[in-house]
Each structure stands twice: as structure tokens, then as C-alpha cells.
Amino acid sequence: MEKLEFTLPACAAPASRGFTQSFALCGVVASGNLEVLVGAGAAASVCEISVTTSARGFAPIWQALLSEFAAQNPAGGTRIAINDMGATPAVVSLRLGQALCEYLGAER
């Protein structure tokens, strides 16, 4: 197991969000998959992410992927917990996108 922590600059989540739920959960902890939990963070200008992963040695890819995610999405003011069992970057990006949309309560 490897534990990684990131605090990344991000655009603030839109204030108009409905607050219909206090957190969003996407995915499952299973081989090649991961669980992403999005909740409220401490500061509006950053996205805090903690990663627990079964695959060691991929910190640079996590850093690049999560920085890109925080820069491209209104993820400011969130705190995200990731429990990973060897998901590919494609799966990680998809789950992050799904979980953030769900948390922000955007219309489908």
C-alpha cells in the first residue's frame, strides 16, 4: 500500500450548488477499479486529495493526473478521498469526473 497526499490549486466550485448531498461516492474498490469520495474541503481555492493505492511507484502519474483534474474542473473547496486497486489513469479520470459531477449536483 502507498499513501499519497496532494493539495492542489483549483477553481472554486460554483456557489449555486444545491447542497442536496454532503458527499458523493463513485466506483468500488475492486481489481483495476477505485472508489472516489468527494466532500467539502477546508479552503475554496484548493482541492485536497488523499490517495490510498495498492500499486506502488506511480506517484508522478498521480501528481500529473490530479493536478490536471484540479486545473480543468471546478474542484476548489472539495476534499477527495481515493481508494485505488490498480485502476488505469483512464478509469481514475472517469471516476473523478463522475464523482465531481455528482457532488456538484449538476443536471445530467
Partner 1 sequence: MNAPVSTPTWDSRRQARARRLHRAESLGLARRVPAGRSVALLEAVIEPGDRVCLEGNNQKQADFLASSLADCNPAVLHDLHMLMSVLALPSHVDLFERGLARKLDFSFSGPQANRLARLVQDRRIEIGAIHTYLELFARYFVDLTPHVCLIAAHAADAAGNLYTGPNTEDTPAIVEATAFKSGIVIAQVNELRESLPRVDVPASWVDFVIVAPRPNYIEPLFTRDPAQITEVQVLMAMLAIKGIYAEYGVKRLNHGIGFDTAAIELLLPTYAAGLGLKGKICTHWALNPHPTLIPAIESGFVESVHCFGSEVGMDAYTAARPDIFFTGADGSMRSNRGYSQTAGLYACDMFIGSTLQIDLSGNSSTATVGRLAGFGGAPNMGSDPHGRRHASPAWLKASREAADGKAIRGRKLVVQLVETFREHMEPVFVERLDAFALQEAMGAELPPIMIYGDDLSHIVSEEGIANLLLCRNPEEREQAIRGVAGFTPVGMARDKRAVESLRERGIIRRAADLGIDPRLATRDLLAARSIKDLVRWSGGLYAPPSRFRNW
Interface residues toward partner 1, by CB under 8 A: 58, 61, 64-65, 72, 88-91, 93-94, 97-98, 101-102, 106, 108
Give least dist CB 42 to partner 1, A: 26
Residue-wise DSSP of 52-78: EESSTT-HHHHHHHHHHHHHHTT-BTE
Give least dist CB 18 to partner 1, A: 15
Please, which residue, 81 or 101, has the CB nearer to partner 1? 101
Give least dist CB 46 to partner 1, A: 20
| Residue 15 burial (C-beta neighbours within 10 Å; 0-12, 13-18, 19+) | exposed
Please, which residue, 3 or 108, has the CB nearer to partner 1? 108
Give least dist CB 66 to partner 1, A: 10
Cα separations in angstroms, 39 against 33, 48, 103, 104: 20, 10, 7, 10
Q: CA-CA distance, 80 to 68, in Å (whole number)?
A: 15
Please, which residue, 39 or 105, has the CB nearer to partner 1? 105
Provide the grid cell at 18: 444545491
